[in-house]
């Protein structure tokens, strides 16, 4: 029989949620830093590099942003799962405590 540690599940959900928030903040700070200036110059070579850099940067930021969303959603679902599991365990315990053993067919 598997025994779930509901406090650990709730703690895990909180940790994952905090990590998602932190990653989101760090990602916004990174985006501000990498989009603030174009040190490669405005000449032809710099412009070509800048276009490629901007395209790659945009894709990378989208991917990392989706990971933030996935972590946040995962944290929420983990918390709900833990709470539902704990409530189910409590209901089962209460039901088992109120059953009259003489009325149970084996």
Quote the domain boundaries for residue 24. Answer: 6-88
**Is 100 contained in some domain?**
no
83 near 12, Cβ under 8 Å? no
The total number of structural domains that make up the chain: 1
Stated pTM of the model: 0.75
Provide the CATH number for the domain around residue 50: 1.10.287
- Give me the torsion for CA of 45, 47, 51, 54, rounded to 10°: 110
Reported as a single tens digit per residue, the pLDDT across 43-73 is 999 889 989 998 999 999 999 999 999 999 9
Joined tokens for residue 2: 């598997």
* Domain presence at residue 101: no
pLDDT of residue 39: 77
In a domain, residue 103? The reply is no
82-100 pLDDT, tens digit per residue, is 999 999 999 999 998 888 7
Q: Is 67 exposed, middle or buried (0-12, 13-18, 19+ CB in 10 A)?
A: middle
Question: How far is Cα 19 from Cα 24, in angstroms, rounded to an integer?
Answer: 8
Residue 104 lies in a domain: no
């Amino acid at each position: 029989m598997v025994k779930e540690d509901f406090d650990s599940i709730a703690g895990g959900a909180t940790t994952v949620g905090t990590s998602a928030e932190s990653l989101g903040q760090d990602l916004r700070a990174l985006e501000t830093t990498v989009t603030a200036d174009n040190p490669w110059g405005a000449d032809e070579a710099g412009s070509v590099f800048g276009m490629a850099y901007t395209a790659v940067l945009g894709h990378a930021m989208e991917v990392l942003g989706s990971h933030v969303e996935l972590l946040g959603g995962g944290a929420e679902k983990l918390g709900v799962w833990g709470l539902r599991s704990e409530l189910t365990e409590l209901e089962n315990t209460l039901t088992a405590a109120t059953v009259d053993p003489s009325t149970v067919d084996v």
